[in-house]
Amino acid sequence: MKTEKRYLVPGDYMADPAVHVFDGKLYIYPSHDWESGIAENDNGDHFNMKDYHVYSMDDVMNGEITDHGVVLSTEDIPWAGRQLWDCDVAFKNGKYYMYFPLKDQNDIFRIGVAVSDKPYGPFVPEANPMKGSYSMDPAVLDDGDGNYYMYFGGLWGGQLQRYRNNKALESAILPEGEEEALTARVARLSDDMMEFAEEPRPVIILDENGMPLTAGDTERRFFEASWMHKYNGKYYFSYSTGDTHLLCYAIGDNPYGPFTYQGVILTPVVGWTTHHGIAEFKGKWYLFHHDCVPSEGKTWLRSLKVCELQYDADGRIITIEGIDK
């Protein structure tokens, strides 16, 4: 499907958008790219982001977008090392909780929490990362019943391959071929939103025969960029396939899954990475993502983009063409 697309922040490089509706406005929580001067590599060292902005809007496709400025930076975080990658924000009991991945001083990704009284910050970080947290790409679902669930994890530079059963390995292991693919993790959050309330568990994605996706199924298996939304009572887990550059989704009946693979949301865009957020606003659904067209293909200088997302009569997402042909 071809659809109208809009660039949202033409004057800066923003990526990895998390999107939520708070107080009648749509808020965007992106990561912030800048020219770091570091050579590209598979560990993502060139993505040396160091702060977050927050944006808000009243009209997605045509209205003005407000930049609320820097709301958190690495220099604010006591345990900071480097690489403040994508974040997400959840609201509970009058507080806004920002969850962010950051490498600690041993260059290991942990997930931190920062708190604000307002959806546009500024956010004040906790002194330490969440206990038992690892990898990156946190995304939080407010299930509407008082429970909140965090989905997280990413391969390669995201370090997920360094862990099994929530324990660090002596050396990283990436499954291959017909071995079961590594998956994202999910855990319910504690009542105070500061910790996991349980051990994280794998987010299992099944194929059409009810079998877990394999590592060699690179156009369907999870790589990074978890997102969760609900539509007509179903749970839609969406994610990036990483090195095959697709945004895909799978549907389940509860926050833990398992989830059955359904198809592609977005075909490849210009640039290596694909990362997104999905939200309903004023009766329409939108896909927020990024590409590298404005920076002429420099994959570490990405720009925010939005388009309308549509479902068919059976609740399947209609595939969007990443590059208009």
Report which DSSP code applies to 132.
T
Q: How far apart are CA 311 and CA 233, in angstroms?
A: 14
| 188, 197 Cβ separation under 8 angstroms | yes
176 is catalytic: no
Catalytic residue among 126, 224, 308, 314: 224
Question: Phi/psi of residue 27, each to 5°?
Answer: -110, 140
Catalytic residue, candidates 4, 16, 86, 126 = 16
Phi/psi at 77 (nearest 5 deg)? -105, 115
CA atoms within 13 A of residue 40's CA, in its CB half-sphere = 8
**Ramachandran class of 197: left when φ > 0, alpha when ψ lies in -120 to 50, beta otherwise:** alpha
Q: Which of 213, 92, 83 is nearest to 143 (CA)?
A: 92
Cα 131 to Cα 325: distance, rounded to the nearest angstrom: 47
Whether residue 324 lies in the annotated active site? no
Give the H or E element holding residue 187.
Answer: strand 185-188
In this structure, the chain runs to a length of 325
Catalytic residues: 16, 224
